Amino acid sequence: MPFAFDVLQKDPLTAARLGKMTTPHGVVDTPAFMPVGTQGTVKALRPDDLVRAGAQILLGNTYHLYLRPGHELIRRLGGLHTFMNWQGPILTDSGGFQVYSLGALRKIRSDGVLFQSHIDGSRHLLTPQKAVEIQEALGSDLQMCLDECTPYPATPRQTRDSLALTVQWAKLCRGAKTNPDQALFGIIQGGTYLDLRRQAVEETVPIGFDGYALGGVSVGEPKDIMYAITEDITPLLPDDKPRYLMGVGMPEDIVYGVSCGIDLFDCVVPTRSARHGLLFTNTQKIVIKNARWREDNHPIDETCDCYTCKNYTRAYLRHLYVAGEILAMILNTIHNIRHYMRLMENIRAAIRENRFSAFKDDFLKK
């Protein structure tokens, strides 16, 4: 089943759109949120938990899987889908953001990034060609070009130089791709400078990718700048290709991104928050360790249909969390992931019924 993307419907008052992304491992209804499975697992959840929660696509991490257990081992054992027993679509990032996060442990070169492993200190060179090779060995449905994630803040000159490198690497990634069944996404960088972002679109789109991502956001810049980038640049991307806002995942940011025409999102927010006892509902965020929940006999969210909300109370979940029980992380994560999947289902329904603008206004008020 070759990769394809179809826009099914557009909202009359915003740039929101309903889509269908077809991949070798199944169809993804968009807009969609991708739970992050960094090391071949979404922390605290089994694949069947994710299926029940409504997840259609997961994100895997090239950097981590390359270092451990190794992309060649995963290839020999049948690819990432078989290795982690997830039969749905998978997107793998290039590893560029993780290498960027290493700080002093990495050095940017024209041919790639020289870095030290955070695991054992071994030295590696991640080139654009290597990033594609790793992702092809993993067998993901969607792969990302290697890019340089521009830090915040950065001067115009620093950003311009970084952008030139990202475009150069994008061309090398496109030339290195050998698997026609895998989609390859180009990444639009340019920091906080809208003129450079527009330049990135002008130089990246002609290379010819299956989808396009806005990278280098949610890296410390004020939220209004991230919103401005999303609103200004998204309409410049090809209308017939999926658009991906990388690493953005607060619910209000997702709703805003959808209104600008974004189709794909990913973030560690729901899983990481769950492990730290922060639970999402339609009206409030619950810090489950707080004493106010000690005798609360209600579910996390009365409107939620997840396994956790149908079977457990806030009082019990608080007890598990305070006691340090592993089950706390499992039940909390089940809820937060289902909350995000319900959000995406409600967004898609609102677009389908031509009421997304009202949905957005009501959601942001809450």
Question: Each residue of 232-250: pLDDT tens digit?
Answer: 999 999 999 999 999 999 9
Contact 151, 101 (CB under 8 A): no
- 208-234 in b/e burial notation, b at 16+ Cβ within 10 A? ebbbbbbbbbbbebeeeebbebbeebb
Contact 214, 244 (CB under 8 A): yes
In this predicted structure, the answer to whether residue 34 has a pLDDT above a threshold of 80 is yes
Return mean pLDDT, the chain. 97
Please state whether the predicted TM-score (pTM) of the whole model is above 0.85: yes
pLDDT at 103: 83
Q: Which neighbouring-strand residues pair with 244?
A: 213, 264
Question: 141, 147, 210, 266: which is the annotated catalytic residue?
Answer: 266
The whole-number average pLDDT for the span 81-105 is 91
Q: Are strands 285-287 and 123-126 parallel, antiparallel or unpaired?
A: unpaired
The whole-number average pLDDT for the span 12-33 is 98
Mark whether 93 is an active-site residue. Answer: yes
Q: Phi/psi at 103 (nearest 5 deg)?
A: 60, -115
Question: 11, 93, 210, 263: which is the annotated catalytic residue?
Answer: 93
- Counting residues of the chain whose pLDDT is more than 90, the rounded percentage is 96
Domain 4-267, CATH homologous superfamily name and number: Queuine tRNA-ribosyltransferase-like (3.20.20.105)
In this predicted structure, the answer to whether residue 100 has a pLDDT above a threshold of 80 is no
- Side chain identity, residue 10: K
Domain positions in the chain are 4-267, 271-366
Question: Which pair of structure tokens corresponds to residue 291?
Answer: 């004493």
Q: Name the region of 130 (left: φ>0; alpha: ψ -120 to 50; beta: rest).
A: alpha
pLDDT at 79: 98
pLDDT digits (tens, 9 = 90+) for 102-123: 887 899 999 999 999 999 999 9
pLDDT at 366: 83
Q: What's the angle, vertex CA 115, arms to CA 113 and CA 119, rounded to 5?
A: 145
Mark whether 111 is an active-site residue. Answer: no
Q: How many CA atoms lie within 13 A of 230 on its CB side?
A: 30
